[in-house]
Amino acid sequence: MALAKDSSSLPPMAATRLLYLGVLLFLTMAASTLGVEAFGLPRGVSSADCAYKLQQYATIPLSSPGEAAIHLGNTKSCIAGYGGRWDPYTAYQFCIPSWVAFTDNGTLVGEAALQHAAINPGTAVSGFKRLFGIRINDEMVKREADLVPYKFTEQIGRCGIQVETEQGQVMNFLPERVAGILIAELKKMAEAHLGHKIGYAVVTAPAHFGDALRSSSIRNEAARLHGGFSAVNVVDEQVAAAAAYRLHEKRGDGKVVLVVHLGGRTTHATKFKFKDGSGRLLQERHDIYLGGDDFTNRVVDYFVELIKEKHHRDIRGDEGALRKLRADCEMAKKALSNREGVLVNVESVLDQGSSLYEEFTRSKFEELNGDLMARVIEMVEMVVLGGAPASQLRSHQDAIDEIILVGGSVRIPMVTQVIEDYFHGRGLIRDEEAVIRGAALLSRPESARYVEECYNGGVSGPLWLAS
């Protein structure tokens, strides 16, 4: 009643906006009693937090089209959406390596930063998403410190990244700022394609990220403060992957979906179900230190020993030689996705005049990485069973309606084959880029049935987000 009385003296446009916000607040309070969700997956956001977030909608026109979707990966980051200078319905997508390098002459992003890492690795940062929101004394920081050439310092009670440039300049950053630099670069690429500024984005997040990481690290710090977006919503990576195949619509209602995300550095397995326009998280497991880079490391170790045995040189202490070898092994791994064998140029590593090649086969690659795939299957089985006894495995496998494999490492034939065998030859969807495509779809109001965790999905959400 107070809202109607106060708005009577306001101009029609302002009164309409206040009335609209009042309706949204009512819907928010109703959603909080039903179990609030982030793109359908329960997160437990308070009604007070939802009421605060309603203020952000003043920056989004009621008929706003989806402008962009961003997927931050540990090895590759992408922006996608719809529109262009001449055709508003054409999809676009741009991807860059998830690397940021800090130099005395400025900041490098993407491919330029990746190339700079080969010259001065201590100034180039990647894999920073694992450090969002954690404290300096966290065990993860100690483990990460063994893997990277830069240092970690405490900043405002959290883990920060410290790099030193070629001329000795010391720089300190929170990982959220590094992510924001990447997001800003992606935003600039999309704006150049569209021919106008964009202010609204949907950003993906792993299922295990809690509301604090979603709201503070991703939405407010990385995407808004440093990335330059005025309004941001967050979607589960797994829900986005399912949305790429329209499983968030009526055709997917009641279906149990398993998404296995095997990326360059992390692996996730998530089981959930869509019901009446909302997703219900059933089970989730993740390993932030298992991915395609680990497969490559096994190949590098193999060739280090082979070089030592056949060419009588130990290159473990030679950082330059190891970088060259790793690049060659990464190319060999990718080539084996389409071939049974490749030749690795050992001469480029040894810097010798003669041409020295060593054969490397797909079967050898699979032998070296068999135990890593076993860890992936173990994770999948924990999600499939969901705590049930192993004797019920077959029935739980059969209860899954859709299996989607996403992430760069699904190009490896062994990954698909092992998971297909685990499910007794059942067909599955293998789509490296399903997450970013699904997120782009969900960024469009006419395609999304739920976008903000403050709503319960379907028609109970604001009209401009309803299907």
Q: Flag whether pLDDT at 351 surpasses 50.
A: yes
The predicted model gives 89-111 an average pLDDT of: 92
What pLDDT was estimated at residue 402?
A: 95
Pick the residue with more confidence: 212 or 153?
A: 153
Predicted confidence band at 31 (pLDDT cuts at 50, 70, 90)? Answer: very low
The predicted model gives 431-452 an average pLDDT of: 76
Tokens of 195: 């021919």
Q: Where in the chain is the domain with CATH 3.30.420.40?
A: 68-236, 245-290+371-435
DSSP string, 53-119: HGGGGGGS-TTPPP--EEEE-SSEEEEEEE--SS-TT-EEEEEEES-EEEETTEEEETHHHHHHHHH
pLDDT tens per residue, range 294-346: 999 999 999 999 999 988 889 888 888 888 899 899 999 999 999 999 998 88
At the top level of CATH, the class of 292-364 is alpha beta
What pLDDT was estimated at residue 46?
A: 62
What percent of the chain has pLDDT above 90? 49
d(CA 279, CA 39): 7
Residue in this structure with the two tokens 């403050």, named with its chain if needed: 454
d(CA 420, CA 260): 12
CATH 3.30.420.40 applies to domain 68-236: yes
Q: Are 55 and 246 in contact (CB under 8 A)?
A: no
Predicted confidence band at 52 (pLDDT cuts at 50, 70, 90)? Answer: low
Q: Where in the chain is the domain with CATH 3.90.640.10?
A: 292-364
pLDDT tens per residue, range 54-65: 444 433 333 344
The predicted model gives 269-274 an average pLDDT of: 90
d(CA 183, CA 191): 12
pLDDT tens per residue, range 158-198: 999 999 988 888 999 999 999 999 999 999 999 999 888 99
Question: Which residues, at least 6 apart from 431, have a Cβ–Cβ distance to it below 8 Å?
Answer: 241, 244, 404, 405, 406, 410, 437
Q: Which residues pair with residue 287 across a beta bridge?
A: 267
CATH 3.30.420.40 applies to domain 245-290+371-435: yes
Give the other-Cβ count within 10 Å of 411's Cβ: 18
Handedness of CA 236, 238, 241, 246 (dihedral sign): negative
Helix (H) or strand (E) holding 330: helix 319-335
Question: Which residues, at least 6 apart from 425, have a Cβ–Cβ distance to it below 8 Å?
Answer: none
